[in-house]
Structure 1
Amino acid sequence: MNPTLTSPPRRVTIVDVARHAGVSVASASKVLRDAYGVSEEMKERVRASMATLNYRPNAAARGLRGKTFTLGVSVPDIDNEFVSALVEGILSVTEPTEYEVLIGPAGNASSSQAKVIDAMVDRQMDGLILFSPYGSADRIAEIAGSTPTVVVSRHGASRVYDTVVGDDMLGARLAVQHLIDQGHERIAYVTHSDGDQTDPHSPQRVRERGYREAMSLLGLEARIDVVPSTWSRTGGTQAARTLLARDELPTAVFAGADVAAFGMMNVFGEHGTRLPADVSLVGYDNTSVAQLRPVSLTSVDQDASSLGEHAAQLLLERIDGRSEARHVVITPRLEVRATTGEPRRTDGAAD
């Protein structure tokens, strides 16, 4: 027989599983749904048959019965070590469960993020984790009204969804205070300028407020220097070139995010600008790359893995029926490494 004319193998159904396990279809379905009233012996028998037959539940059919056992995670991009650590934290909580996590790179525009989130809702995902989403609180509340939702890294509490954030105001103050303690006064801050620039709850706006307040409280209001860019390697590259084009380079830069700091480090290296002899550099997120000895970036650690773990746990609780809102704030700490030191002398010589 011509193999191209053979029919594809038939998909194994719950009926096949029940027959193989020697139980009723209703009992096998209860095991699949982890429903109440099923003995451990029956669970083991049915699950063994599922494994033997390589049974895969039909997600669409499960959705019709109320659950798809899928969780959606919307992130601006996946080219960021912080996002990877966040997802690892989420997976550490969900892996022992029946839920599958699907990642949606949503970009840095309100329209692209809305498209991804709407697609997740339309596919009847059982819950959503939204990382630093754009859009109004009312829009997020509308989403949470139909799908259990946890928002990560966007400030502002809500009564209808949970939030998990790092204390970005404190983190920015830690960075600025460290540089001032080293003797710096001309400290630039690289902000993220994509997306909604009017949203006061975004991490970039909150960190900028922390930077501005720290500079003002320490008598350096006249030295405030905000450099618009993006928190990406490309954005860091652009920010470094902007600073190098000035008549005088600031003695220190708070890059706002590690990923931007990495781009800055590349450009500074190409131009022979030494860290920290010519300029000190502080990142934010304390990513695994920042901790590598050749990089050794001073950075604010907000524990991305812990953010993910908290978000996943809160979401599972929401799915299980908890209705009261919970809001978790992670306290950051500063990890001092080789990219910060005393400022260069005014005559241009290194200390």
Structure 2
Amino acid sequence: MATRNPRRRVTIADVASHAQVSTTAVSKVIRNATGVSAVTKSRIQASIAELGYRPQAAARGMRGRTFTIGLVLPHIRNLFFADILDGLSGQLDNTGYQAIMVQGGDTRKAERQAVDALLDRQVDGIINVAPLASKNRMEEVAKERPFVVLARHERSAAYDSVYDDDEAGAELVVRHLIELGHRRIAHITHQDNSIAQPADLLHIIRAETYKRIMHEHGLGGEIAIATTFYTEQGGYDGARELLARSPRPTAIFAGADQAAIGALAAVHEAGLRIPQDISIAGYDNTLLAALPNISLTSVDQDGFAMGRMAGRLLLERIEGRVSAARFSVAPKLITRRSTAPPPA
């Protein structure tokens, strides 16, 4: 019985012959290097598209680059991470680079395995979102590959950082609730096994800012914090804990939209109305927050801009920049129907 021969893979030599140029010229276009005229580059790109040529990652790795970037996310359930990925993809457009996304998980061991897998696959650089690893571990990785950390506040000469001004963001939402007239304002915060100084972790910064603003307004005695997780279940559990207090809070500030969604479910389950009986505010301004049936007041930290900047900084590192760079996003409050003055 005759067997079908697999289609022969198009080679760089095939592209060169089709475009009537040297293989060196084709290689330069693939690497986005200089030394090829615009006309020739356009002809080569047309040949690549017509022939369906795809460079082999392993071969490119042996020549020094694979034109791949690793993106480590804690998980893929949070819509805010989708905004980061969209921004990164926009930055990588027309650069020849592709992002490889892996899930770091909930433990340092799982995260380390994810990062090691990317290193083993010879990615040209890594972006780690909300890492659990210690600063020393991240600096070790940065010695092997260009490295950008997103959503941690510590300084390092070995890698770049992109982060939100979490103190300013938390202050915006707590002051908003106080200005509406609320006094019994509660907070849902996060817990994890990050190895870092507390002042460098976003959930600690948001919780400490909440407490500071409450004290500044003479509301220290009303401080109520539920420590759970920035997940729907965490928000649900945290809200149930807070609603059981007597008197119950008239407003809840959840440190992430994902937790706020869970809090909304707990409030509805308790037979309470939003915002007539209790106000809910989140953080991240994800797409869900803007849905008319949710209409969640939230802090916008522009995940798209963060992902885009992380990609830009990583490409600069890949191209040879060695000095450390830091980029902070200025948050803004987006008010919607989930917050209103407290009941009389």
Question: What's the TM-score bracket when you normalise by the shorter of the two chains?
Answer: over 0.9
Is the aligned partner of 1:189 residue 2:193? no
Equivalent of 1:116 in 114, 117, 121: 114
The Cα offsets for residues 140-196 of structure 1, whole Å up to 9 and x where unpaired, read as 111112211111111112112111111101111111111111222221111111333
The aligned residue for residue 171 of structure 2 is 173
Partner of 1:275: 274
Alignment of 1:81-230 (within 5 A): 81-196=79-194, 199-200=197-198, 201-230=200-229
Q: Deviations over 1:203-227 (max 9, x none)?
A: 1111111112112222222222110
**After the TM superposition, which residues 1-351 of structure 1 pair with which residues of structure 2 at under 5 Å, given as runs?**
2=2, 5-196=3-194, 199-200=197-198, 201-344=200-343, 351=344
User: Number of matched residues?
Assistant: 343
Q: Take 1:49 and 1:197, find their aligned partners in 2: how far apart are those partners?
A: 50
Of the structure 1 ranges 228-237 and 245-254, higher mean CA displacement relative to structure 2 is found in 245-254
Q: Distance in 1 between matches of 2:98 and 2:196?
A: 35
Question: How many angstroms apart in 1 are the aligned matches of 2:44 and 2:341?
Answer: 66
Q: How much has 1:247 moved relative to structure 2?
A: 4.2
Q: TM-score, normalised by structure 1?
A: 0.93
Secondary structure (helix, strand or coil) at the match of 1:102 reads: strand
TM-superposed CA distance for 1:285, in Å, is 0.8
Query: What's the offset of the Cα at 1:63?
Result: 0.6
In structure 1, list runs of 5 or more residues that go unmatched: 345-350
The answer (yes or no) to whether the contact 2:182–2:341 under 8 Å persists in 1 is yes
Aligned equivalent of 1:347: none
Q: 1:122 to 1:84 in 2, by over 3 A?
A: same
Partners of 1:150 and 1:314 within 8 A in 2: yes
Unpaired segments ≥5 residues, structure 2: none
Distance 1:44 1:337 in 2: 49
How far apart are residue 36 of structure 1 and its match? Answer: 2.7
Query: For 1:32 and 1:306, how far apart are their aligned partners in 2?
Result: 27
> Does the C-alpha gap of structure 1 residues 162 and 112 become closer, same or farther in structure 2, counting only changes over 3 Å?
same
Residues 1:96 and 1:75: Cα distance change in structure 2 (over 3 Å): same
**What CA distance in whole angstroms lies between the structure 1 residues aligned with 2:72 and 2:308?**
15
In structure 2, relative to structure 1, the CA distance for the partners of 1:16 and 1:261 (3 Å cut) is: same
Distance change in 2, residues 1:197/1:44 (3 Å)? closer
Given residue 48 of structure 1, which amino acid in structure 2 is its aligned partner?
A
Do the aligned partners of 2:182 and 2:251 also contact (CA within 8 Å) in 1? yes
Larger deviation, residues 61-70 vs 246-255 = 246-255
- Matches of 2:196 and 2:248, distance apart in 1: 29
Please give the per-residue CA displacement for 1:50-71, whole angstroms capped at 9, x wherever unaligned.
1121111000110110110001
Q: Determine the C-alpha separation between the residues in 1 that align with 2:297 and 2:22.
A: 61
Q: Is 213-222 or 200-209 further displaced after alignment?
A: 213-222
> TM-score, normalized by length of structure 2?
0.95
Pick which of 184-193 and 52-61 moved more.
184-193
Superposed CA RMSD in Å reads 1.7
Contact 1:199 1:205 in 2 (8 A): no
Q: What is the percentage of aligned positions where both structures have the same residue? A: 44
- What letter corresponds to residue 162 of structure 1 in structure 2? D
SS in 2 for 1:289: helix
Shift of 1:271: 2.5
Q: Secondary structure at the match of 2:226?
A: strand
Deviations 1:240-280 (A, max 9, x none): 22233444421111110011111111221232211112111
CA separation in 2, counterparts of 1:171 and 1:79? 22
